[in-house]
Structure 1
């Protein structure tokens, strides 16, 4: 039983380290109306999809382009980034069922319209124990 607990702790630590690299600034929210386009299975059209925390880490959406809508519908949306999730879909869901993301760095570089590179840090909270977990990568 001790080995199982140790392995579980190592898995959690590895997932937290991986999650510290999430591009959380690409998540759709009230201030950030970003979206990805996914193919509608009923026809060849594409539909807009809001971006969630799970989508950001889900490798299903890796390499999907993230767009910001234009003020006028006449213009194409601006590409602002690309999703790069490393988790399997069920792993991403399970991770965010266990942890809340409280804050993250880097923020989006609005001056250059891109994700800042280099130093990444995230503050997570275990939903059950309420323990704060900071990860710096």
Structure 2
């Protein structure tokens, strides 16, 4: 593979790993979050913003459609933080960003978010499980490639931090890190693999950042060893990408300059 093509693949998969942090379940209009939950607050805040925007533009709206967030809104950095009464983003508390709850949490520019979903379809989204595991299955509209993107650490999610600690210190208390691993396998076996089998797909890319990068490597071992050798269902990894750090607020193009 030529260097230019390899760099392009790295850039694309960095962006896919980045997108895996999106709270895409909020874009499901049938999703009914619990009263008083953070998700309920997020949806109510967004619908209030959208109603004001539509009213200012003299646009009539359908309460069950236009006022809810779309996948592009989920990734849009304009909706990353809640805002105070003056409209300023609330980025931190006592100087620490991880002490504040994000609004929609996106890190893509509006144009980048639009271009992303012009390029990819989101086929499956797994919201945070009890262990904190979350992932997305994307498909490139042009090449038809499938990419499973595993979300990394959310610093407001205590179980993510615990998992990171035990992984980083090589602690032998595997009970602490096995929960997300098990949830990942359940997600792959119950949701991803059946879809691949229905479409007769035998190759998949896997990408992840931080904790997601660690899980990416574990899943690669499962797919290649357990699936191919033990179960004799032949799947192969086209490419595996694990990213240690993504510079928030910058596109993959900017990061590689």
Q: Same fold (TM over 0.5)?
A: yes
- Number of aligned residue pairs: give it: 110
Structure 2 counterpart of 1:63: 81
| Whole-Å separation in 1 of the counterparts to 2:120 and 2:131 | 24
CA shift for structure 1 position 3 = 4.4
1:126 aligns with 2:140: yes
CA shift for structure 1 position 60 = 0.9
| Whole-Å separation in 1 of the counterparts to 2:4 and 2:113 | 21
CA shift for structure 1 position 64 = 4.3
| Whole-Å separation in 2 of the counterparts to 1:126 and 1:97 | 9
CA shift for structure 1 position 135 = 1.2
| Whole-Å separation in 2 of the counterparts to 1:56 and 1:106 | 13
Structure 1 counterpart of 2:169: none
Gaps of 5+ in 2: 33-42, 84-101, 151-211, 213-257
Give the helix-richer structure, 1 or 2. Answer: 2
CA shift for structure 1 position 21 = 1.0
Give the 5 Å matches for 1:1-137: 2-29=2-29, 31-32=30-31, 34=43, 36=46, 37-38=48-49, 39-40=52-53, 42=56, 49-64=67-82, 82-106=103-127, 118-136=132-150, 137=212
Kept in 1: contact 2:79–2:103 (CA 8 A): no
Distance verdict in 2 for CA 1:59–1:8, change over 3 Å: same
Give the strand-richer structure, 1 or 2. Answer: 1
| Whole-Å separation in 2 of the counterparts to 1:117 and 1:89 | 31
Aligned to 2:132, the other structure's residue is in SS state coil
Larger radius of gyration: 2
Report the RMSD for the aligned CA atoms in angstroms: 2.9
Distance verdict in 2 for CA 1:59–1:106, change over 3 Å: same
